Structures are given as C-alpha cells and as structure tokens.
Amino acid sequence: MSELLRFSENELQEYALLIMACVYTLRIIWLLHFKAGRERQAPTGQFRTTRARGIVYSWMNIAMPWEMESTRTKAFFYVQFVVFHLGVVAAIGLSFVIPYAPGVLKSGAAVLIFQTVIGLAFLVSLLRLVRRATDKYIRAISSPDDYFSLALLAVWFFFAVFAAPNRPERGEAFLLGFFMLTAFFLIYVPFSKISHYLYYPFTRYYFGKTMGYRGVYPLAKSKQ
C-alpha cells in the first residue's frame, strides 16, 4: 500500500470527519437559534393522538411507505429511494471497514453484498440523474447543487463498487479515488443539499409534534 493511500484511508478521513463535525455543530446551532413555536391551545383531534406519538410517527414515516399517498402510489420510486440510501450507508460503512476492519472484506460474501448494494445504488443514481434532467417538474426546481451532488454520489458509488474487494496490490486507483471522494464529501456535504439528513430529525420532530398535538398524526388515510 502506498503512503498516499494509507494517508487517504486514515488521516485524511479523520481530518475531513472533524471538519464535518464542526460544520454540522454550527449548522445545528444555527437552526436552534431560531425560536421554537409554541402551542397554547388545548389539543384537538382523536384521543389516540398525542405530541409524543406524533413525533415518533413522523420520524418513522419514511419507513412506512403505505402511510403517505406520495410513497404509497409510487412504489418503484420508493424502492429506488431505499436502494439509494442503503447504498449510501454501505459506502459510508465501507469507508470505515477498509481502514479499521479490513478482515471483514476477506469474506467473498461480504464483498459481494457491498458491491451489490452499492452497485444497485449506482444504477439508481443514474436513473435519478436522468429523471432530474428530463422530468419538467424536477428540472424546474433543480439547482447546480442538485445535479452536482447526485453526479458526485454516482461517481462515488462507482468507485466504491471497485474499492470494495480492498485489494491495493491489484491497483490503487479505485481505492484512492474512493477515499479522496469520501474526504471531499465529508467536507462538501454540510454545504450542500446532502445535509438534508441533518435536518430530517428536526423538521420531522416539529411537524410530528404539531400534527400529533392536533390529532392529525398518525394520518387518517382514505377509507372506502
């Protein structure tokens, strides 16, 4: 293993992680400096709904595609969403497994699982790029950051698929590419739309709290 690869897998990631943690902390402080709204009225709605239940339901909402019309009626898109985000988790996991637990990748099955999940996520990212560029609704709302973040992820997935076997002796290009991109991501993410997962717990918490208190969450879906 070259010194550059060793540095990329270790110190570079640690520095990048540190920067990301600092920026994220600042992001959370920024968000929390806005005052929180207060509900003075008595709760409304069904007795089964409460603030706490609304919050938990809201957080879990994304894992319950049958609950929202938008996910219920777009099964293929929801599957893409799941695959894409599993790919992200797998690729992030890979960036820790390679330097800290390389033994895991001695198992051919483990490598195959990583490659399959990330490979599928790569395909989804291509589909999403096409959708973003061709769907008139999505194109109308897309900024350069939307395209760049998605394209970057696609490239990252691509490198991750080939980095998964962790065989530097066969060539370091994919491993180097994967770790360089990971480090770039760690620094870039807090400034981009990819930081949405940082906001998710907050937006969902407040929306769930309000909707739970008002008896709207859990959602009362259509009945025939």
Partner 1 sequence: MSDTRAAQSHKAKKLIERMSRKLNRQMAGSLAACVHCGMCTEACHYVLTNPDDPTYAPAYKADRIRKIFKRHFDWTGRVLPWWVGAKTVRTDAELEELKDIVFGKCTNCRRCSINCPMGVDYATFNRMARGLLVSVGIMPEGVAVVSKDQWEIGNQMGVLKEEYIDTLEWMSEELSGDMGDPNAVIPIDKMDADIVYSINPREVKYDPRTIADAAKIFYLAGENWTMPSEGWDMTNFGLFSGDDDLGGAVALRLYEKVSELRGRKLVISECGHGYRSTRCEGPNWAAHTVPFEMESSVNTMLRYIKEGRIKVDKTRNDVPVTFHDSCNNARSCGLFEEPRELLNLVVTDFREMVPNRSENYCCTGGGGAMSMSEYTPRRLKSARVKADQLKATGAKIVVTSCHNCVDGLTDLIRHYKLGMDVTQLVNLVANAVVVPEKIAVEKPAESEKPAAVAVEHSLEAFKILVVDDEDDIRLYYTVLLEDNGAKVIQASDGDEALKLAKSEKPDLITLDLNMPGKDGGQVFEQLRKDPELAEIKVCIITGRPELRRLIYDRPVPPPEGFLDKPVDDHALLLNIRKILEVG
Residues contributing to the site for partner 1 (CB under 8 A): 30-32, 34-42, 44-46, 49, 58, 61-62, 68-71, 73-74, 77, 81, 135-146, 191-193, 196, 199-200, 202-204, 206-208, 210-211, 214-216, 219-224
CA of 155: how far to CAs of 67, 179, 203, in Å?
33, 12, 29
Cβ-based nearer residue to partner 1, 184 or 206: 206
Least CB distance to partner 1 at residue 219 (A): 5
Kindly state the smallest distance separating residue 115's Cβ from partner 1, in Å: 26
Which of residues 68 and 111 has its CB atom nearest to partner 1 in the complex?
A: 68
**SS in 3 state form for 58-114?**
HHHHHHCCCCCHHHHCCHHHHHHHHHHHHHHHHHHHHHHHHHHCHHHHHCHHHHHHH
CA dist 62 and 89 (Å) reads 16
Residue 45 or residue 93: which is nearer to partner 1 going by CB? 45
User: What's the rounded Cα separation, in Å, for the pair 219 and 203?
Assistant: 17
Cβ of residue 205: shortest distance to partner 1, in angstroms?
8
